[in-house]
Amino acid sequence: MLRFAVLTTIGLLFVSTGEFSRLGARAQGRSVTFFAPLRLGGKTDFNQTSDLAVEVFQVLDLPLTVHEASLVKSERGYFVKLELGNSSEVKLVGLRYSLLIIDSKNQPQPLVNRTEGFAVAPYATKTLTFKTSLRFKQKGGERLVLMVEQVISREWIWEVVKAKDALDAYARGDYSVMPVVLRVANSVDAPHTPGVIYRLRRNEEY
């Protein structure tokens, strides 16, 4: 009887130790599964909040369309990132844009007006991040609005007439002001064509 009791006690201890080991393994497995998604989730949230969305005031008569705009944050400030589409048959080489901050009372404040160079082939799309940084202080309830005022090719320049008035009206919620685009020849960047000299002959008298 004593031997049987000792064996029974040893068996119970073995079973209890095994149960605790399995429970510990389960608990450890749950802890690994629990912490890994938290690390991934924190990294994803950081990437999502690093860029600022920018609203685009499209000018339909321009040969360049801004499909998407944002401000990319870095240690040096913000960089303008644009997804552009060329709807013309010529190569586009530059643009001028205005960027506004609109507060909660729809009061626009100019942030920057810049000319940037690039190269977008005819009927092509391209995503660009301009290298010139900008700095500003964010406040609650603000909107960022971007408008392209000028588009440049080597042959032509497309200029929005009274661009500031149209953008200010758009910022205040007045969408009745339609931008007018004027196209002029680019006399600066146009390829040089060699001139042809014609010699005029004097009419002979008979």
Share of the chain above pLDDT 90, in %: 53
- For residue 191, being part of any structural domain is answered with no
What's the CATH code of the domain at 109? 2.60.40
How many domains, the chain? 2
What's the confidence (pLDDT) of residue 192? 53
Domain of 112? 51-185
* Statement: residue 146 has pLDDT above 70: yes
What's the confidence (pLDDT) of residue 141? 82
- For residue 165, being part of any structural domain is answered with yes
* Statement: residue 190 has pLDDT above 50: yes
* Tens-place pLDDT, residues 75-94: 889 999 999 999 999 999 99
Strands 143-153 and 51-57: parallel
C-beta separation of 135 from 159 below 8 A: no
Distance CA 31, CA 65 (A): 50
pTM above 0.75, yes or no: no
